[in-house]
Structure 1
Amino acid sequence: MQNQENNLNEDIAQDKMLKGSAWMTAGSVFSRILGALYIIPWNMILGGLYLQANALYVQGYNVYSLILIISIAGIPSAIAKQVAHYNALNEYGVSVRLYKRGVLLSVIMGILCALFLYFFSPLIDNGNPDLIPVMRSLSWAVLIIPTMSLTRGYFQGFQDMAPSALSQFVEQLFRVIYMLIAVFFIIKVLRGSWVTAVSQSTFAAFIGALAGLLILAWYYFRRRKYYRSLIRNSNNQLHVNANKLYLEIIQQAVPFVILGAGIAIFQLIDQYTFFNIMHVSTSASNKVLDQLYAIFAGNANKLIMITISLASSVAITVVPLLSESYTRGNKKEISHQVSAGFVLFSFIMIPAALGMTAIAGPLNRLFYTNVNGALSANVLAFSSIVSISFGLFTVLSAMMQGISQNKVAVKYFVYGAIAKIITQFPMVYFFKEFGPLLSSAIGFMVVNMLIIGSLDRQFKFRNDKMLSQINWIILFSLVTYFVAITAVYAGNLLVSLGMNQYGRIGSGIVVAFASLLGGLVYVYLTLKSRIADTVLGHKAETLRRKLHIG
């Protein structure tokens, strides 16, 4: 009887994880794709100024990302975790009070961090005065994004991922629309400065955030009656005072800041060291260094963040589920969820990263034309491989937070950051623009191995079944890679018969052909072998029937 109950709980948890991951994956991926597609018209409008403008854009966004993470202070993920904790105790009234206290805290943090970014931007411009207007334009977004992110965390605490997913997409949609209209008007109509165009491109973050917040507000008011019914039927035995609620939020939030800023911190290390190291190791001009920086930190990073967002969607889903299991003290359930999280991560991330590696050449030409073609494509291919370690860190740190082991996770991240800093100079000195990616990979590998070891010691999640599933996924991903890269060569040959295979249209056709063929092969192999069943559950059988796979 106990085993049946455990199996039922595992199935319910698996369904929640899959449903949540589906919503978060859809919202995150579509918003990331939209956030990458804008590059094509943005590039066309700016023309020869593109790489210089992109380098400025990326440097501004890197600083903004860190300030934004500090302003958010990990509160959304902390709220999601604590809301799930109190919901598991049937204390929905405490969850609602927690959210309301969190809103006040997020508003205060948003104001303070926005003021800091606006007034202190001349002190953190890295010697580039063009960065000042860019960072000041981003300070407006810092005002409201903490509240928007907090509200997303509240919905996620109820395992309700749809509001977050839709608001992400709407946020990105309005951001891109404003950005392209503003840049076109400044460059083509007014013949204005490219620095002004970049400043308006970054101000678009505020426009998008405002739209995303309105979507969340609509969802919240639409579901008020449901939340009120949960409160009425709560146990209402816990009475947590306001100060304790604030303390809980802060205790949970601080580690989330450091871990949530992990990738941003590594990127800032690159931003503030790359140029100096390159000046020592080469005689390249500042303009050339701007272009190299834009290639690895801007161009490649925008595309690999699409695949990393897949991992993020898994990470966000697993936190409240693990928190519920941890609250109940069910180690077996935690072990199952950690294993399921690893398999789900591998199922999505590995083929996506290897697939992007295979199509790096035409994909780079599609988005960035053939300027610095071979170098840009090689950097993108290498970045795609490295992105697996980035994505794994996102999932692992979320798992540690879900089981309230934030301090341990932060300690391991510090070790990884030290490894990044130690290896940064030799890697950049010898491998130039590939160096920052290598040192980041080393840093995240250190963190990942330490966390995996810690989780396995506690919950024994590594088992033969899980390892076998991941091995098959890696094998199928490698097959997909070889199919995709063969399709790229064949596609280039076929396209060259009728048009320029190195142009945007020709490259787009090759990307679509190789992606479709590789994707179909991966889907077929995982469905045929039944590996997909462990991730998709009963939906895999439905797909097999529809696709006539025996």
Structure 2
Amino acid sequence: MSSKLIRGTFILTLGTMISKMLGLFYVIPFTRLVGLDGTALYQYSYIPYTIFISIATAGIPLAVSKFIAKYNALEEYAVGRRLFKSGLVVMLCTGILSFLILYFSAPLLAQGKTQPAEDIISVIRAVSFALIVVPFMSMIRGFFQGHQSMGPSAVSQVVEQVVRITFVLVGAYIILEFMGGDTVDAVRAATFAAFIGAIGSLFVLAWYWIKRKPGLDKLLEQDKGTVNISLKEMYKEILIYAAPFVLVGIANPLFQFIDQLTFENALVQAGVKAKDAGDAFSILNFQSHKLVIIPVSLATAFSLTLVPSVTKAFVEGDRKGLNFQLNQTFQVLLFLTLPAAAGLALLAEPFYTVFYGPMELGTEVLKMYAPVAILFALFSVTAAILQGINEQKWTILSLLTGLLIKLTFNIPLIKAFETDGAIAATALGYGAAIMINLIIIKKYSGYRFRLVLRRSLLIVIFGALMLAASAVTYRLLSNYLSPEVEWQSLILIAVTALVGGAVYFYLSIKTRLIYFLFGDKVDRLLGKLRIRV
């Protein structure tokens, strides 16, 4: 791999991580501004928006970049430019169509909620404007990535988040404090911020285009002109590559959308007050979900770096290499996700206090929801592996099965166990989808799970010992610090996590498990930290 590509991948990964962190931490002031009613209203619009935007754009930057890189390597630069020009028109049309569908379907999506339908309609319509710009923008990002230029995508992602979050917080604050507006007005401005952020990102990409166009035009002068491929063939190749990313991208929003359709009515039928049902929806699908997704993002990012090696080994028919790469992928995923999810469950109360303030229901929901992070991560990685072994079509079956199980059991489980029932239905749905993916991986790759099962048991034992040490530390500290006070909660989280992490790391070093997973990188890290083992 060239140093330019390594540098570009690092820049893009860094930009994505910064963007995700910004997208997490803004919820602290935002929740304090608009409260549970406001975050529930915000989520009513953002779940369908996420589904629409995923369908319109998920996989497009990657698919376009792969296509352009392929023909650039053949010195057929004009092919990629043709795709880019026509693709901009197509994505603009796709964006406008998506906007119109979401805008006019808002009354339908607003039905059956505990909050007034007109409020929900207004926030859905406010966020729908972003759909006009984002698909168009994703095409430009894919074009730059195809030329191994990751800076424009990374910078535009960060700028998009900074502009969006600034508009969310400043807009909501001004509306509530100076303009005499209410929560609905503040949330409407917050959802419209997605459009403002996209415009900011588009300006960044336009600047990069103006700056780099002369160099890109010079490449056209070197074009061989020997390949004649129709637009129909171009789009067919792109759609085949992008489809699996669309499915993986919309999996989580679809599970949340089922909750949006059924959760509150089921709770009301179970005897919960309408106001409390709305609050519970916000706690589950906005506040807790934002925290649960943290270990998923980190672990999945590490694990997916191994997937290209899986693809290479499969294509070359290297069965031994394939088994090794699959072993590494699953073990790294579990090694990182399991302790993070367990720690989040243990420290649910101080975590919730730091982000949203003390709340008994929030603590209980987060405690139950945290372990589901392991399933979220496993689904993403197994779906990526299916793509690596060219069996991505099975992702459709597994996802549909999971959604059907979620839809079937959601209402009965909510009526029986309230909010915990929705979490259980999600776990059942994801569990079934993962089982199907694993069966297909075993069937078509010949992979055996024996080593992973043994190592998983070892990781579980280490996780249990880590949890025990953390629990003792947390219990002792709780005698002097309160998890209902924000600054004291920060100390509780920091000290407990440090003790638990030290125990987990020590056990991994002594058994050399960490060396089996990360190799020489461990020694380099220990050297930098000046730690001797």
Indicate the TM-score class for this superposition, using the shorter chain for normalisation. 0.7 to 0.9
Question: Which of 86, 89, 114 pairs up with 1:104?
Answer: 89
State the SS of the aligned residue for 1:240.
coil
1:358 has 2:346 as partner: yes
Give the C-alpha shift of residue 189 in structure 1: 1.3
**Counterpart residue number, 1:449:** 435
Partner of 1:540: 522
Q: How does 1:316-355 map to 2 (within 5 A)?
A: 317=305, 334-355=322-343
> Contact 1:68/1:142 (CA < 8 Å) preserved in 2?
yes
Q: Does the CA contact (< 8 Å) of 1:182 and 1:200 recur in 2? A: yes
Alignment of 1:34-45 (within 5 A): 34-45=22-33
Distance 1:138 1:93 in 2: 36
Cα distance in structure 1, aligned partners of 2:196 and 2:527:
45
Rounded Cα–Cα distance in structure 2 between residues aligned with 1:125 and 1:350: 37
Q: In structure 2, what is the equivalent of residue 76 of structure 1?
A: 61
> Within 5 Å, which residues of 2 pair with 1:456-467?
456-462=442-448, 465-467=451-453
- Which letter does structure 2 place at the counterpart of 1:455? I
> CA distance change for structure 1 residues 20 and 473 in 2, over 3 Å: closer, same or farther?
farther
2:377 is aligned to: 391
Q: Aligned-pair distance for 1:453?
A: 1.5
Flag the 1:83–1:539 CA change in 2: closer, same or farther, 3 A.
Answer: farther
Structure 2: distance between partners of 1:105 and 1:472: 51
Point out where structure 1 has 5 or more consecutive residues left out of the alignment.
1-11
SS in 1 for 2:164: helix
Partner AA of 2:121 in structure 1: I
In the alignment, what sits opposite 2:391?
A: 405
Partner residue in 2 for 1:517: 499
5+ residue gaps, structure 2, are: none
**RMSD between aligned residues:** 3.5
- Corresponding residue for residue 4 of structure 1: none
- What is the letter of the counterpart of residue 540 of structure 1? V
Distance (whole Å) between structure 1 residues aligned to residue 221 and residue 199 of structure 2: 32
Which residue type is aligned with residue 36 of structure 2? Answer: L
Q: What displacement does 1:88 show?
A: 8.0
- Tell me by how many angstroms 1:52 deviates: 0.8
Q: Normalising by structure 2, report the TM-score.
A: 0.86
Instruction: For 1:12-27, list aligned pairs within 5 A.
Output: 26-27=14-15
CA distance 1:173–1:514, shift in 2 (3 Å) = farther
**Cα deviation 1:459-498 (Å, max 9, x = unaligned):** 23446555554444433333333333333323332335xx
Residue equivalent to 1:304: 292
What TM-score, normalized to structure 1?
Answer: 0.84
**For residues 230 and 467 of structure 1, what CA distance do their matches in structure 2 show?**
51
Deviation at 1:165, TM superposition (A): 4.7
Aligned to 1:8: none
Letter in 2 for 1:424: N
Q: 1:257 pairs with 241, 246, 254, which one?
A: 246
Question: C-alpha separation between the residues in 1 aligned to 2:6 and 2:370?
Answer: 25
Structure 1 residues 390 and 153: CA distance shift in structure 2, 3 A: farther
Cα contact 1:354–1:384 (8 A) shared by 2 = yes
Opposite residue 395 of structure 1, the aligned amino acid is: V
C-alpha distance after superposition, 1:200-256 (max 9, x if no partner): 111122233333444555666777788789889999765422220012223333444
CA distance 1:233–1:494, change in 2 (3 Å): farther
User: Structure 1 315/539 Cα, relative in aligned 2: closer, same or farther at 3 Å?
Assistant: closer
The aligned counterpart of 1:488 is: 474
Query: How far is 1:445 from its partner?
Result: 0.8
Higher relative contact order (CA 8 A, sep 6+): 1
- Equivalent residue number for residue 197 of structure 1: 186
> Structure 2 CA distance, aligned partners of 1:337 and 1:229?
40
User: Could you say what secondary structure the match of 1:261 adopts?
Assistant: helix
The answer for the alignment partner of 1:59 in structure 2 is 44
Alpha-carbon distance in structure 1 between the residues aligned to 2:139 and 2:392: 19
Amino acid of the structure 2 residue aligned with 1:60 = S
Aligned length: 528
Q: Is the 8 A contact 2:304 2:329 kept in 1?
A: no
The aligned residue for residue 295 of structure 1 is: 283
The one-letter code of the counterpart of 1:475 is I
Per-residue displacement from partner, 1:409-430 (whole Å, max 9, x unpaired)?
1012112222212221221121
Instruction: Name 1:266's counterpart in structure 2.
Output: 255
Q: 2:131 aligns with which of 133, 142, 148?
A: 142
Partner Cα distance (2:50, 2:288) in 1: 17
1:420 aligned to 365, 383, 406, which one? 406
Aligned-partner residue type, residue 48 of structure 2 = V
Q: 1:165 to 1:473 in 2, by over 3 A?
A: farther
Q: Is the 8 A contact 1:359 1:484 kept in 2?
A: no
CA gap of 1:515–1:154, structure 2 versus 1, over 3 A, is farther
| One-letter amino acid matched to 2:19 | S
SS in 2 for 1:443: helix
Secondary structure, in 3 states, of the residue corresponding to 2:118? coil
Query: In the aligned structure 1, how far is the partner of 2:352 from the partner of 2:224?
Result: 56
Measured in 1, the distance between the counterparts of 2:417 and 2:216 equals 55
Q: How far apart in 2 are the matches of 1:319 and 1:91?
A: 28
User: Could you tell me how far apart the structure 2 residues matched to 1:197 and 1:329 are?
Assistant: 57
Q: Partner of 1:191: helix, strand, or coil?
A: coil
Separation (CA, whole Å) in 2 of partners of 1:222 and 1:330: 44
Separation (CA, whole Å) in 1 of partners of 2:247 and 2:140:
20
Q: Which residue of 2 aligns with 1:7?
A: none
Structure 1 residues 385 and 38: CA distance shift in structure 2, 3 A: same
Aligned residue for 1:210?
199
Shift of 1:71: 2.0
1:419 counterpart letter in structure 2: I
Do the aligned partners of 2:247 and 2:395 also contact (CA within 8 Å) in 1?
A: no
Residues in 2 aligned to 1:79 and 1:477: alpha-carbon distance in whole angstroms: 41
* Distance in 1 of aligned mates of 2:325 and 2:33: 47
Equivalents in 2 of 1:75, 1:331: separation in Å? Answer: 31
